[in-house]
Every structure is written in C-alpha cells, then in structure tokens.
C-alpha cells in the first residue's frame, strides 16, 4: 500500500481523530480510505442516463377554469408504458390533484414532465 501525505487544518485533523476513536477505526488512514471510497462511489453512481428510474409527478389544478384534467388523461394514455400508477383526488374547493408514479429512463420521464 502506498503512503500519501495530505495537508489539512488542525481542526479537521482533530475531528478525524475523534471520529476514528468514536467509531472504532484503527486510525486516520482507515477513516480516510473509507471516506475516499464512499466519495468516489457517490460520483460513480450519478449517471442517470443509463439507469431505470422512478419518479413522482404531482399536478394541482383548478378544474373549473382549465382543461388540465383532460390533458392529464391524454398524457397518461400517451405514456402508459411508463405510468406505473395514477391517482386523482379532489382537494377542496375547485381543485384537483393528479399524481403519477413513473418508471422509465431519464429521457422518457423528462419527456412526460415536459408535456405538463
């Protein structure tokens, strides 16, 4: 294993030492190795383009003054391959809420949202 020198403020170094003691690490190096693996892993998993995704879209509208309800029905049927679930509710007065649970690619979900 290679040895690497790192410069950091004394306060941060003290926090790392305390963290190592509190969580049963053998020392600073073990903490920094795990932190580095976690940080790199987070960035490796940020590419959404190649993944299946789930999303929730909520639309609140006044059903008396707009044609949104009809538009939502057409949108749901146009994209039925990614609409996993759909919920419609009256939420007081003249308002309705349309909730969609979507499953698909980033492009498919973005296209759906872009049409609202």
pLDDT one-digit tens code per residue, 64-78: 877 888 888 999 999
Per the CB < 8 A criterion, the answer to whether 63 and 15 are in contact is no
The torsion angle over the Cα atoms of residues 38, 28, 3 and 34, rounded to 10 degrees, is: -10
Which strands sit side by side in the sheet containing 83-90, from one edge to the other? 53-62, 95-104, 83-90
Comparing 43 with 71, the larger pLDDT belongs to 71
**Model confidence band, residue 23 (pLDDT cutoffs 50, 70, 90):** very high
Domain 53-114 has CATH 3.20.20.100: no
Percent share of the chain, pLDDT over 70: 98
**Model confidence band, residue 93 (pLDDT cutoffs 50, 70, 90):** confident
What are the domain boundaries of the chain? 10-44, 53-114
Most confident of 39-48, 66-75, 83-92: 83-92
């Amino acid at each position: 294993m290679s040895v690497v020198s790192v410069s950091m403020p004394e306060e941060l170094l003290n926090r790392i030492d305390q963290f190592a003691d509190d969580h049963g690490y053998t020392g600073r190096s073990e903490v920094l190795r795990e932190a580095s693996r976690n940080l790199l892993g987070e960035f490796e998993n940020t590419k959404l383009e190649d993944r299946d995704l789930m999303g929730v879209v909520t639309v609140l509208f006044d059903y008396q003054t707009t044609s949104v309800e009809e538009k939502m029905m057409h949108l749901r049927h146009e994209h039925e391959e990614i609409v996993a679930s759909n919920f419609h509710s009256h939420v007081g007065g003249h308002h309705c809420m349309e909730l969609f649970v979507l499953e698909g690619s980033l492009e498919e979900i973005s296209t759906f949202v872009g049409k609202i």
